[in-house]
Amino acid sequence: MARRMRSGRSGILGSRLGCRLGCALGGPRRGFTLIELMIVMAVVTILVSIAVPLYQKSLLRAKESVLKNNLFTLRTMIDEYTYDKQKAPQSLEDLVREGYLRQIPVDPITGQNTSWKIIMEEAATAVNQTEPGIFDVRSGSEKESLEGTPYSEW
């Protein structure tokens, strides 16, 4: 046992030295300093300030994609209705009533299914000249797309 005490660090000197080294290496003292916390918060803030605009832009791209898909579906169903019935629908509800659509799709930009701009046929060029109906549908939003064109012109 005497050998162990001589070869190892023990006693008052050894425990003081161990505490000093342990405290400096993160031993008994635990936690972060104020400067470390401030640096971490600054890095997190920078990352969030970069990520939020990218996320918002990706949400807008998704809405634009849904809008294009909804417009394509509506226009296709208007054409099919017109071909089948030999007259254009008078309203979007006609497409639902006759089973061409389950429901009127939502305009993702405005968040409503009642905001669609309906473009009616001219009587002279209509399939059934006595009852001109819907020729085209556009978004009811006045905002501009990421491409720089108004949604109401799509």
Average pLDDT, the chain: 85
Residues of the chain above pLDDT 90, percent: 69
Condensed to tens digits (0 to 9), the pLDDT of residues 114-123 reads 999 999 988 7
Three-class SS of residue 93? helix
Give the gyration radius of the chain's Cα atoms: 35
pLDDT band at 23; cut points 50, 70, 90 = low
In eight-state DSSP terms, residue 135 is E
Question: What type of residue sits at position 56?
Answer: Q
